[in-house]
Amino acid sequence: MIIGTAGHVDHGKTELIKALTGIDTDRLKEEKERGISIDLGFAPFRLPGGRLAGVVDVPGHEKFIHNMLAGIGGIDLVIMVIDAAEGVMPQTKEHLDVLELLQIKKGLVVITKIDLVDKEWLEMVEEEVRDSLQGTFLSESPLHFVSSLTGEGIAELREDLARIAETVSARDKDAPLRIPLDRVFSIAGFGTVVTGTVLSGTVQEGQTVEVVPPGKELRVRGVQLHGENTGIAQAGQRVALNLAGLEKKEVIRGSVVASPGFFGTTRTLDVKVRLLASASRPLINMSPVHFYLGTARVVARVYLLGRDELAPGEEGFAQCRLDKPLVAQRGDRFIIRSYSPMITVGGGIVLDERPQRHKRFKAAVLEKLQDLEKEDPLPFVLQKLKAAQGGTLGELNQLLKMGTNRLKEILDRAIKEKKVVLAGDYYVDADTREEWAAAIINKLEGFHQEKPLLPGMQKAHLRGALPRKVTGRIYDALLKYLKDKGLIETNGELVCRKGFSPMPTPAQQKKLEKMLEIFQKEGLNPPPLKELWVLTGIKKEEGEDLLDCLVYENLLVKINEEVYLHSETYSRCLEILKNYLQDNSSITLARYRDLIGSSRKYAQALLEHFDSCNYTRRIGDERVPWKLLNR
């Protein structure tokens, strides 16, 4: 777990951490010279009972609030530090606002430097502190009085921290890796080292990770926790990584080390934003603000989606458009500071890290965002599933970044609630399944109207009604779904609406009879199709439909694209072949031609057709029986 400090400049945060851990977190020369923290400081802290925590010491000066915000977002528990001599000060209040906006749930309050004040003064400060904390998450938290100089109260504080630490929920070590980086530096002989808090997942030596930005995959050369080589680190720990092949200039504070392929950058976020009640003026639509998320800091323009302005103390849905890309995830908390002067004015939560651009005052958009605002992740999963038009568990995990176990639990629940269906290993939301089903039915209806003589549509052609990403297995499952509902019928490779049968008009019936008469009369010497259209006076397109109708009714047999035979002629040719092969082990093309009394062209077309039906098998220049004799 990670413990963070908060509080006004020079209120003794760094000295308190030194008293607790024995480590001075001020590492910069300027910090030593000026006696104040400028950047983030870090220390390991062995709690009573043996649990190892990481401590993030943040600067308290208003000029370095951006550094404070880079470190405070990943903490599990906060120590709010207040000087006994000065009491509650401006940065005490601002830091408390930040903690509230970031929804930090656990913490305690420490009044430091008690060796510098008398008892009466201390009682006054305690009363002021308690009044200031009313209505905040720290209002019922323990209050400790310590002196980092004399050590008074330090032992009791350690014990209380250990007690609260036991109530902190563990982070998800099985989710995709995500480490927002707060430091980047080089060590001679080792190369580039990055540090950060592991928000989710696990990282170990030898693993391939992705640094975003720049979006570069690298091998983890080494893993350290608090200066010790451990080879592995997991969610909730402070980690230092030595990444092979990474140049220091390629990474900035705000970059993220992540599982490859899971996290990309975004410049648009759907959010719920809240303006502090203490804000001096409303937040006007399209206002520019300084935007802090994780360790990243950018400028954002806030597009209010349901109103023109947000008054102090109010909250509303918005879309933030960023001047630079950053890595975000649904559920991330952020802080906004006014563009000028730079004062913390609000914050909120990310509802969607990769949304479409919205038009303002659209009821459908606001309804979707209301769904995403709920703690239940199912609406978010359903929205993303629908936008992606389904996916496998692995594909959806990359999209949603929840971890496969948690995501599968949500999808299984959605299946039980009949909001999601599973086709093979492919999940699709029920609405999308119905849209696909409707697309198939509409295409079939159109086909039957356009080609009323044909018994059905080829499965391969019907599949064109669906998005290209729909695999054959999903398509077959969808056809089964429609068949089970009694909406379609299948016959081999043909699909038709339930109960459909070709219904030729009287004029078409006459043409069918004329064509059939020609094929019956000509037997094994049917006219080529071009001649057939001339003989019958039928146009090619209509004639091809009529041929298919005759084939469907088993009156003609299609031998290949150019040759059709009357079914009686076909049966006779097949019987001749069968009788011959009962007495002979093979047959040649020439012999078969003589047996049926036809030309080489039609004899060859028939034998190739029989091969395709698995009646015979060609070996060299001869055919041998395969399934014919069992027929």
Domain ranges of the chain: 2-165, 178-258, 266-371, 372-427, 432-497, 506-625
The three-state secondary structure class of 614 is coil
Among the listed residues 239, 232, 182, 225, the one whose alpha carbon sits nearest the alpha carbon of residue 206? 232
178-258 CATH choice from 2.20.25.90, 2.40.30.10, 3.40.50.1220, 3.40.1160.10? 2.40.30.10
Quote the tokens at residue 434.
Answer: 């119905």
Taking alpha carbons only, the member of 143, 107, 108 closest to residue 125 is: 143
Q: Do domains 2-165 and 178-258 have the same CATH topology?
A: no
Residue 136: pLDDT band by 50, 70, 90 thresholds?
Answer: very high
pLDDT at 227: 81
Q: How far apart, in whole angstroms, are the C-alpha atoms of residue 265 and residue 477?
A: 36
Tell me the C-alpha distance between 452 and 446, whole Å: 10
Q: What is the pLDDT of residue 35?
A: 45
SS3 374: coil
Pairing relationship of beta strands 106-112 and 77-83 according to DSSP bridges? parallel
Cβ atoms 127, 88 nearer than 8 A: no
DSSP string, 512-562: HHHHHHHHHHHTTSPPPHHHHHHHHT--HHHHHHHHHHHHHTTSEEE-SSS
pTM of the model: 0.74
Residue 576 has phi, psi (to 5 degrees) of -60, -45
Three-state secondary-structure class, residue 613: coil
Q: Could you give the C-alpha distances from 355 to 149, 266, 380, in angstroms and in order?
A: 52, 9, 11
**pLDDT tens, residue by residue, 447-457:** 998 888 888 89
Alpha-carbon gap, residue 27 to 290, rounded angstroms: 27
Annotate 300-357 with three-state secondary structure. EEEEECCCCEECCCCEEEEEEEEEEEECCCCCCEEEEEECCCCCEEEEEEEEECCCCC
The predicted-structure confidence for 326-359, as pLDDT tens digits, reads as follows 999 999 999 999 998 889 999 999 999 999 999 9
Q: Does domain 506-625 have CATH number 3.55.40.20?
A: no
Let me know if domain 432-497 sits in CATH 3.10.580.10: no
Q: Which CATH number fits domain 2-165: 3.40.50.300, 2.10.109.10, 3.40.640.10, 3.40.50.1220?
A: 3.40.50.300
Determine the CATH number of domain 266-371.
2.40.30.10
506 exposed, middle or buried (CB, 10 Å; 0-12, 13-18, 19+)? exposed
Tokens of 292: 């802090």
Choice among 105-109, 421-425, 445-449 with the minimum mean pLDDT: 421-425
| Predicted confidence (pLDDT) at residue 368 exceeds the cutoff of 70 | yes
Do the beta carbons of residue 466 and residue 475 sit within 8 Å?
Answer: yes
Beta strands in 387-473 (DSSP E): 391-392, 420-423, 426-429, 457-458
* b/e sequence 379-395, b meaning 16+ C-beta within 10 Å: ebbbbbbbebebbeeee
CB 41 within 8 A of CB 195: no
Selected residue with higher pLDDT from 190 and 498:
498
pLDDT digits (tens, 9 = 90+) for 44-67: 888 888 888 888 877 644 554 666
pLDDT at 617 over 90: yes
Summary mean pLDDT of the chain: 89
